[in-house]
Amino acid sequence: MHRGRITVSGLALVAALGLAGCGGGSSGDEGGAHSQAPALAMNPAVVRTSDSPLGTVLMDGGGRTLYLFTADGKNTNSMDCDAACLKLWPPVEGKPKAGDGVDAGLIGTTDGAVRAQVTYAGHPLYYYAADRAAGDVKGQGIDGVWFALDAKGAAIKKAAPAASATQDGGNGGFGY
């Protein structure tokens, strides 16, 4: 009986330490995007258009700008992205409805994904983690491969105004 208690106590300790490792903490980037206010909540329930410093762009229901990765295949998330990359460029997942300014026939999801990733005009959609307020376009043009989309699903290639420029700490947008 005593041995069973030790085993249970040991398992509880291991579980507690594992959970502690998942908690927040400093990333060592004290002056970068991590020291800003928390990111705007993701709300993929609706894909809509809204005005931004780039003009009219696709956004989610909460006003977060949606981006495409130019190297993704049509209707598939072919981006080779590790955990750091996914933290910076999280996919838009779920099954949204068409909101104002979008063509419902252009909304879809990726094929064969564990979780369905939202697509628009065949482009898998992503958020940019450093977008902190509704209408931010800080991910625009990063590495020449990340772009906001217009209502037709085309990449908007114009540069973001200086006030909306990327603040990724000079690390090329991939977080490493």
118-169 pLDDT, tens per residue?
999 999 999 999 999 999 999 999 999 999 999 999 999 999 887 654 444 4
Phi then psi dihedrals of residue 77, to 5 deg? -90, 95
Burial category of 146 from C-beta neighbours within 10 Å (exposed 0-12, middle 13-18, buried 19 and up): buried
What is the percent of the chain with per-residue pLDDT over 90, rounded to a whole number?
50
Regarding predicted confidence, which is higher, 115 or 95? 95
* Whole-prediction pTM: 0.71
Mean pLDDT of 88-95: 92
pLDDT of residue 39: 64
Res 83 pLDDT > 60: yes
3-class DSSP assignment, residue 148? strand
Q: How many residues does the chain have?
A: 176
pLDDT of residue 35: 41
Regarding predicted confidence, which is higher, 169 or 61? 61
Q: At residue 90, what is the residue type? A: P
pLDDT of residue 22: 28
Res 109 pLDDT > 80: yes
pLDDT of residue 113: 52
